[in-house]
Amino acid sequence: MALTAVIHKIDLQIADIDRHYYRDHALTVARHPSETDERMMVRLLAFARHAHEALSFGKGVLGASGESSQEVEPDLWQKDLTGAIEWWIDVGLPEEKQIRRACGRARQVVIYAYGGHKADRWWEQNRAGLERAKNLTVINVLQETTRALAALAQRDLHLTCTVQEGDMVIGDGETTVQVELTVLFAPKP
> Whose CA is closest to 169, among 76, 55, 45?
45
Say if residue 94's pLDDT is above 90.
Answer: yes
Q: Are 179 and 145 in contact (CB under 8 A)?
A: yes
Paired strand residues for 130: none
> Structure pTM?
0.92
The CATH number of the domain covering residues in 6-185: 3.10.640.10
How many angstroms separate the CA atoms of 34 and 50, rounded?
A: 25
Question: Domain extents for the chain?
Answer: 6-185
Spatial contact of 47 and 14, defined as CB atoms under 8 Å apart: no
**Residue-wise pLDDT tens digits, 126-179:** 999 999 999 999 999 999 999 999 999 999 999 999 999 999 999 999 999 999
8 φ, ψ to 5°? Answer: -115, 130
| Rounded mean pLDDT, 77-98 | 97
The secondary structure element, H or E, covering residue 79 is: strand 76-79
